[in-house]
Amino acid sequence: MGHSAYQVSICAFNRGKLKVLATAFDTTLGGRKFDEVLVNHFCEEFGKKYKLDIKSKIRALLRLSQECEKLKKLMSANASDLPLSIECFMNDVDVSGTMNR
């Protein structure tokens, strides 16, 4: 999975030779889309939990995007529950949540 697309190749290895049998790609799924899904999830969760309208403040949305990208990288190496905590996120409110694979 790359930043903007998802690619798959099916290959056969036979006596030191590589033969590509099939390839496919999808430009609708990539790292950016995965980050966007995480951001939308936490916007909804924090909206319900803390009564915040995150999408109305660009700075808060950018901070959440950065934290979600970090969380995505942590999820690729860990299968356990991972915390997402942001201090003084919006209107001097500290927010926290958890996510796992």
The DSSP code sequence of 27-70 is: TT-SHHHHHHHHHHHHHHHHHHHH---GGG-HHHHHHHHHHHHH
Amino acid at 18: L
- Residues 92 and 90: their CA atoms lie apart, in Å, by 5
Q: Residue 6: pLDDT above 90? A: no
Q: What is the pLDDT of residues 83-99, one digit of tens each?
A: 999 999 998 999 999 99
Q: Residue 1: pLDDT above 80? A: no
Domains of the chain: 32-99 (3.90.640.10)
Q: What is the pLDDT of residues 40-91, one digit of tens each?
A: 999 999 999 999 999 999 999 999 999 999 999 999 888 899 999 999 999 8
